Amino acid sequence: MKHAIAFALMAAPAFAQGQGEIWVTNEKDDTISVIDVATMEVTRTIPTGERPRGLTFSHDFSRLYICASDSDAVQVMDPETGEILHDLPSGEDPEQFVLHPDDRRLYIANEDDAITTVVDTETREVIAQIDVGIEPEGMAVSRMAGSRSPPPRPPTWRIGSTPRRRPYSPIRWSMPDPDMPNSSRRGRSFG
């Protein structure tokens, strides 16, 4: 059971570069726990806004974005110090979000209002609010529209001082090939 919990923790939360850490939001405690991967122990507990939900690191790991749902904000934290640098506007009840690969646009799911709020992380302004379905939560950025190439490989991350690639799932996925008959059953595999 202990291994199943550790695997579940490593599969979902955000990772800090070079630290071998797992960052986990504690929704009812208004904190984040930082777990050392080597020891599987909590090394820090950091206070956040009210009801922290989703979290993600900037691509260079210099900032941590936190959905503070009951604070109606996305908080920006310095992961080294645990200091909240500033809040970004988020709309009501931000649940989850995704950071665009350009590291500038943050797409936020606002569960109560059934909208997605788009925020410019540099100017700290709302770019758009888009009506979506009821209770939006999970989010992802796809590859560019019209592209027939596989999605980009995930960024390199580090554990200790040894650069490694992010582990891949053994599951392969395929895209339907419009040039092949019965493309729903056959495709080009990537992985």
Asked if residue 187 is part of any domain, the answer here is no
Poorest-pLDDT segment among 70-84, 119-133, 173-187: 173-187
Q: Can you tell me which residue has the tokens 């569960």? A: 111
- Asked if residue 82 belongs to a domain, the reply is yes
Instruction: Judge whether 185 lies within some domain.
Output: no
pLDDT in tens, 67-114: 999 999 999 999 999 999 999 998 889 999 999 988 899 999 998 889
Name the pLDDT band for 141 (thresholds 50, 70, 90).
confident
Apex 8 CA angle, 47 and 103, nearest 5:
60
Does residue 64 sit within a domain?
A: yes
Residue 136 inside a domain? The answer is no
Asked whether residue 101 is domain-assigned, the answer is yes
Task: Tell me the CATH number at 69.
Answer: 2.130.10.10
Domain that holds residue 9: 2-131
pLDDT for 9-46, tens place per residue? 433 445 444 458 999 999 999 999 999 999 999 999 99
Q: How far is CA 41 from CA 9, 35, 38, 64, 75, in A?
A: 12, 5, 8, 20, 25
In a domain, 142, yes or no: no
Number of structural domains (the chain) is 1
The burial of 73, by beta-carbon neighbours within 10 Å (0-12 exposed, 13-18 middle, 19 or more buried), is given as buried
Answer for the pair 30, 49: CB distance below 8 angstroms, yes or no.
Answer: yes
- 75 assigned to some structural domain: yes
pTM: 0.67
